[in-house]
Amino acid sequence: MSTATLIKVEDVLAENFSQQVEQVKGKVLIDFYAPWCAPCKMIAPVVEQIAQEHQDIRVIKINADDSQELMTKLGIRGIPTLLLMNNGERVATQVGAASVSQVKKFVQQ
């Protein structure tokens, strides 16, 4: 049997955003979510699948309820919102629940 390593989507706090996202070399996929948000719950397994299949991309989640100031700074008005960063720069934004194929296409930008 294969002993595949389970890649976990990391929870990151807003106060660690600069260190965990802006200073990272390469791609980072960020899922802004809330525990009570139904569309967020729908997209969570998609985000986890991306983390498994694209180990070259760091995948994190940020709880929107705890990160209002960061969301305002980034211009995020709704959840779920996915941000794709590359070398600390925002490459793309996706708002709302999305399918696996849509998110796979999104992270290829």
Mind telling me the catalytic residues? 37, 40
Q: Which DSSP helix (H) or strand (E) runs through 19?
A: none
Residue 91 belongs to what H/E stretch? strand 89-95
Apex CA 56: angle with CA 91 and CA 84, to 5°? 20
